Amino acid sequence: MVPKTTRILMVGWGWPPHIEGGLDTHIYNLTSALSTHKDIHIDLFLPKMNIPEQNRCPDNIKIHPIDTKIGKNTTDDLITSVEIYNNKISTTRFKPDIVHVHDWLGIEAGIALKKSLNIPLILTVHSLEYMRTIIDNPQSQGHISKIEEKGIKDADNIITVSRLMKEEIINRYNKPKDKITVIPNGPTFKDGTKNTEKEKNLIVYCGRLAGQKGVEYLLLAAKDILKNHPNTKFVIIGKGYMEKQLKDLAQLLGIDNSIQFTGFIPIENIEEYYHKAEIVVAPSIYEPFGISILDALTVGTPAITTKDAGIAEDLTDRIDILKIEKRNSESLKNAISSILEDETLKTTLSENGKCASKNYSWTNIAKNTKDIYLNLL
């Protein structure tokens, strides 16, 4: 019998304005959308340092701060912090109906609570560690991958953000496909909130500055684009361990005067850049979904991403977006040039992309997630 109010214990990590990636964005938007379902109550656990001092939530969403020092100097520090964080959550006095965790950051707590309380465990896989790190840190990759494997094995249901990710989980961890549900992400921005004039030849990237994201290929493409379009400006939004390397590469290529690294900026400023941009680019090597591209489509800005990005699965090349080969600056250069030089293509991508973006809704995501909750009770 399904209880009158279904209590979900959810484990998160970041919260606005302390957002580090798509996982944090997803949890914030998912819980916000679930809050309209008054028969759902969510106890959301977050590191205390990531919660703003003034934070208002609906009555059926309660945030529980966990006093955990987050070590970020090395991956080992982060792993230790996550272990302490999970141990503290595992001893909670709450008795939820379901525990819902995201990626490896809450798996240990999720498994412990599943066993001690005899409740279902849901794991949302936004990405896998080998995708995030590529060749950056193979030692940490092994440790975190073992945690991922345990979570995928023990989860009663896995939610993931694309068919690409579903196939990766099946092939890598042999999880039965009927235990995996694909629920694509939704946008960060709302359609039609601004009416900003485009800035000619402005190209924007937004995301982590990490090996997975392939930003170096944008810089290599930029060198050639600037030969034919010398007034082009590239804005790179985000932070990450590769920031200095990318700045050094821009200087080495002699294009640093045309590249602006903004670092971390508030979401409203990101939206402003997206409205002004002629193109938004995500040249990722691995991109399980790609909220940054969906945000571009939502505001009617032409977008370019790699062919196997999750967001590209249900979009048509040269109609909704442009799709490029990964690790290929020539392919990226050609795609950017074609938009800059072809007004018809630019208009087509803008109009069709905006129309396609309406298929992605946090309202639907919350409903589909709630259905999974209820089916497990």
Residues 75-109: tens digit of each pLDDT? 788 889 999 999 999 999 999 999 999 999 999 99
Question: What average pLDDT does range 355-359 have in this prediction?
Answer: 96
Peptide bond into 187 cis (omega under 30): no
Residues 165-215 pLDDT 10s: 999 999 999 999 999 999 999 999 876 556 678 999 999 999 999 999 999
Q: What percent of the chain has pLDDT over 90?
A: 84
Of 33-42, 151-160, 195-204, 304-313, the least confident: 195-204
d(CA 192, CA 187): 13
φ and ψ at residue 196, rounded to 5 degrees: -100, 140
Segment 25-43 shows an average pLDDT of 96
* Side chain identity, residue 264: F
Residues 149-154 have a mean pLDDT of 97
What is the structure's pLDDT at 197? 85
Per-residue pLDDT at 3 exceeds 90: no
List, in order of start, the domains of the chain with CATH numbers.
6-186+361-375 (3.40.50.2000), 202-357 (3.40.50.2000)
> What angle is formed at CA 72 by the lines to CA 66 and CA 77, rounded to 5 degrees?
80
Q: Is residue 310 a contact partner of residue 162, using CB atoms and an 8 Å limit?
A: yes
pLDDT in tens, 330-350: 999 999 999 999 999 999 999
Distance separating the N- and C-terminal Cα atoms of the chain: 7
How many whole angstroms separate alpha carbon 138 and alpha carbon 126? 19
Tell me which residue of 314, 18, 295 sits closest to 161, measured CA to CA.
314
Given this model, what pLDDT does residue 52 score?
Answer: 80
Q: What is the reported pLDDT for 24? A: 95
**What is the reported pLDDT for 132?**
83
Task: Please tell me the predicted confidence (pLDDT) of residue 194.
Answer: 63
User: Over the chain, what is the mean pLDDT?
Assistant: 93
> Is residue 137's pLDDT more than 80?
no
Q: What pLDDT score does 72 carry? A: 64
Residue 57, pLDDT above cutoff 90: no
